[in-house]
Amino acid sequence: MAVNTVGRPDLPDLVIYDIFRRLPTKAAARFSLLSKKWEGILACLPILDFDEGGDQNGDNNSERHKKFVDNILIKYLELYEREKQKQLLDKFRLHMTSYLYKDANLVNNLLSLSFKRSVKEVDISLRVSKLDWNRGWPKRYYLLSRTTFLDAKSITTLTLEHVRIKNIDSKVVMPESTSTALLPSLKTVALKNVYFDRKALFSLIGDCPSIENLSLISCSFACSEICFSSSSLKMFEAKYCKASEIVVYKAVNLESVTIVSSSSNSLIERVILKKCCNLRYMDIHGSHMTLFHLEDCREVKGTIRAPNLDYFSFEGYLNSNVSLEAPRLTVARIMLLDTWDGELSSSNEPWKHFPKLKDFLAEFGSSIEMILFVRDLKALMFPESFRNALSSPILPKLRQLDLATYIYPAEGKDWKELMKCFRWMSPSASIVQLEYNEELGEFV
């Protein structure tokens, strides 16, 4: 015979707690109303998952939203205030499908209580109701600011959707005891359909000294720029974001970059990655991208698909393996920092870098102009046997080859051999020798 536990407040506390822990949060909230003894359990559960359910197109979404707010969320706040023992919280999830502007204070209170319970994972999605959406966007979005995170020291994972983030550098009077880093424990940030005020992302990342993973999906930016610096970041992805430029600099521990911009709403034109010396993998697909710059790269492997790319700049080492699909490339600026000292000083052994150098340069075969820097021009002196083994030139479309180096050949015969190599590489290109300007610190 089945035993009905409803209406049985005499069950042992551990049994009751185990039953509530296994229930969906909305169901647990309803059952807690059946007994005074059960009321406090909801405030002690390690995971709170408030999901409104439904969608914006439902016939009774306004009525459903009101019941969700009054019977679930507000009831939880009331029960929490009565409970004397405040348990730690592993995860707080709140998903609304008909968020109203007037719900902001309620969301503030729910977040504040989760921070007081030292929550580790926060997942917020507040899809604005059609009623509020028609009254003005993005002002109807729930607004997160610096003050929102004052007590959020315990968060390790932050997932946000359909919210607005204010410029955290705005003039806010902060308590003297508040540390500079608001989110010292945060490691993973996933943001989708988030609207950023001007410089808000830069400020947010600046308050995350331990962040390792950052994901931006379909986000919008008031300044039309994704720009930040992070010494702890390891993984970064930006997909379908409404911005014209992405700039990541001084990300010395960044290992993986994924950028996808292939829709009419995502018009990323420039991607700049500076001082990302540990970058290992990248996958970049930019239908509208015209400029790409990668600096201080030691050993990256990846693909760049950019049908409208006009300018490509690379500063790094030949161990990198970049597959470039850019049929309209005009200018390729390549700065190879390898020394090859041992190989270049040897006349007996074949130089091992030539096959890799040939494959690397061949990726820019569609370019019209190339600015090429090597420390010693001998690095470009492909052996005659190597040249004879290839039937077609490396850079067939090149019209101008600008050469820059620190070490020029001392003997005339080496110059003659180099010219043969250049003609083999790019038969139709004119050769321009650049000089190093010490005052400017660059080749001109």
Name the more confident of 87 and 222. Answer: 222
User: Does the pLDDT at position 430 exceed 90?
Assistant: yes
In-domain check, residue 28 = yes
The pLDDT of residue 94 is 95
Number of domains in the chain: 2
Query: Cα–Cα distances in Å, from 141 out to 104, 155, 195?
Result: 9, 22, 8
Parent domain of 53: 12-132
Confidence of residue 88 (pLDDT cuts 50, 70, 90): confident
pLDDT tens for 299-337 read 999 999 999 999 999 999 999 999 999 999 999 999 999
In-domain check, residue 345 = yes
71: which 2 tokens? 């019977």
The residue from 132, 150, 169 where one domain ends is 132
**Percentage helix, strand, coil, to 5, in the chain?**
25, 30, 45
Residue of 388, 397, 391, 319 whose CA lies nearest to 359:
319
Handedness of CA 170, 171, 173, 174 (dihedral sign): positive
Confidence of residue 187 (pLDDT cuts 50, 70, 90): very high
In-domain check, residue 378 = yes
361: which 2 tokens? 């340069």
User: Does the pLDDT at position 178 exceed 50?
Assistant: no
In-domain check, residue 374 = yes
The residue from 75, 98, 132 where one domain ends is 132
* CA–CA dist 289, 284 (Å, integer): 10
Highest mean pLDDT among 33-47, 81-95, 351-365: 351-365
Which percentage of the chain shows pLDDT scores above 70? 79
Single-letter amino acid, residue 388:
N
Confidence of residue 272 (pLDDT cuts 50, 70, 90): very high
Q: What average pLDDT score do residues 274-280 get? A: 94
Single-letter amino acid, residue 24:
P
Confidence of residue 350 (pLDDT cuts 50, 70, 90): low
The pLDDT of residue 6 is 44
In-domain check, residue 35 = yes
CB-CB neighbours of 415 under 10 Å: 13
The pLDDT of residue 25 is 59
* CA–CA dist 7, 32 (Å, integer): 11
Residue of 35, 114, 32, 107 whose CA lies nearest to 73:
107
Lowest mean pLDDT across 42-56, 223-237, 317-331, 381-395: 42-56
In-domain check, residue 279 = no
Element holding 36 (H helix, E strand): helix 36-39
Name the more confident of 152 and 348. Answer: 152
* CA–CA dist 334, 331 (Å, integer): 10
The residue from 105, 132, 159 where one domain ends is 132
Q: What average pLDDT score do residues 164-185 get? A: 64
* pTM as predicted: 0.86
Highest mean pLDDT among 12-16, 97-101, 410-414: 97-101
CB-CB neighbours of 349 under 10 Å: 8
* CA–CA dist 44, 59 (Å, integer): 35
Q: What average pLDDT score do residues 262-290 get? A: 91
The residue to which tokens 């009905």 are assigned? 4
**Residue 141 backbone phi and psi in degrees, to 5:** -65, 150
Helix, coil or strand: residue 443 = strand
In-domain check, residue 276 = no
In-domain check, residue 109 = yes
Q: Where are the beta strands (DSSP E) in 138-219?
A: 142-144, 157-161, 163-165, 188-192, 195-196, 213-217
User: Does the pLDDT at position 429 exceed 90?
Assistant: yes
Give the burial class of 370: count Cβ atoms within 10 A of its Cβ; 0-12 exposed, 13-18 middle, 19 or more buried. Answer: buried
pLDDT tens for 383-419 read 888 999 988 899 999 999 999 988 877 777 888 889 9
Name the more confident of 404 and 134. Answer: 404
User: Does the pLDDT at position 253 exceed 60?
Assistant: yes
User: Does the pLDDT at position 199 exceed 50?
Assistant: yes
Angle at 126 between CA 123 and CA 129, to 5 degrees: 165
Residue of 369, 374, 259, 271 whose CA lies nearest to 318:
374
